[in-house]
Chain A
Amino acid sequence: DVKVTQSSRYLVKRTGEKVFLECVQDMDHENMFWYRQDPGLGLRLIYFSYDVKMKEKGDIPEGYSVSREKKERFSLILESASTNQTSMYLCASSPAGDTQYFGPGTRLTVL
């Protein structure tokens, strides 16, 4: 079974804090993705990576950065959290094909 884990299920941070969200997959997948999911807006792609140290901007990269130093780990960084970044964050991974497997999600609240 594919397993994608995320470091926290729930997180509360203050405006201006630096926030790290970690994602780990155990299936040696090449591709990893970070999405946010908001009511009425659906799933939106923030960043993705198709190899170690490689990253590509998704549809809404502003205010975020990512890091992929090892194949199994993909980190999402909020340099200075803002209230409009309160959301559900979902990480996914996929092999060379299309099927993406999702982690359980991190519900981030920025106060």
Chain B
Amino acid sequence: EDKVVQSPLSLVVHEGDTVTLNCSYEVTNFRSLLWYKQEKKAPTFLFMLTSSGIEKKSGRLSSILDKKELFSILNITATQTGDSAVYLCAVSSVSNYKLTFGKGTLLTVNP
């Protein structure tokens, strides 16, 4: 059974801090790892990392994938209060279209 574990479960920081969110996984025939941001409503897509793209960056957010050690990290630099959200990590396998999600990391950025 595919499994995704995120840590920490929650995190409180001050504006301007840099944070690192962790995601470890076990999946048969790995295809991709995805990061989502969820505020009050639906998750919004951030990054997808695959064998051919193990590092992604968008503004203050970046993510890397370590396929050997089976984990990914999401970095957020110079955090802002608008970064407060639950960050979800998910993995997919080659064999089907399903995503397996972790339970998320609740990030709170205080002014």
Contact = CB atoms under 8 A, between A and B. Distances in A.
Contact of B41 (A97, A101, A105): A105
Grouping DSSP codes into helix (H, G, I), strand (E, B) and loop, the B interface class, with mixed when no group exceeds half, is strand
Interface of A: 4, 31, 33, 40-45, 48, 50, 56, 58, 90, 94, 97-105
Interface in B65-111: 88, 90, 92, 96-99, 101-104
Given A45-B98, A58-B98, A103-B42, A98 B88 contact: no
A31 B26 CA distance: 23
Nearest to A43: B101
Contact of B43 (A48, A98, A102): A102
B98 A48 contact: yes
A42 B103 contact: yes
Contacts of B36: 102
B91 to A, nearest CB: 9
Nearest to A2: B45
B57 to A, nearest CB: 17
A98 B31 contact: yes
A70 to B, nearest CB: 19
Nearest to B33: A98
Contacts of B32: 98
Given A98-B31, A98-B99, 10 more contacts: A33-B99, A42-B101, A44-B101, A48-B97, A48-B98, A90-B42, A94-B97, A98-B34, A98-B48, A104-B42
B11 to A, nearest CB: 17
Contacts of A56: 96
Contact of A104 (B41, B45, B102, B103): B41
A41 B103 contact: yes
B104 A42 contact: yes
Contacts of A41: 103
8 contacts: A40-B103, A42-B102, A98-B99, A99-B34, A100-B34, A100-B45, A100-B99, A102-B42
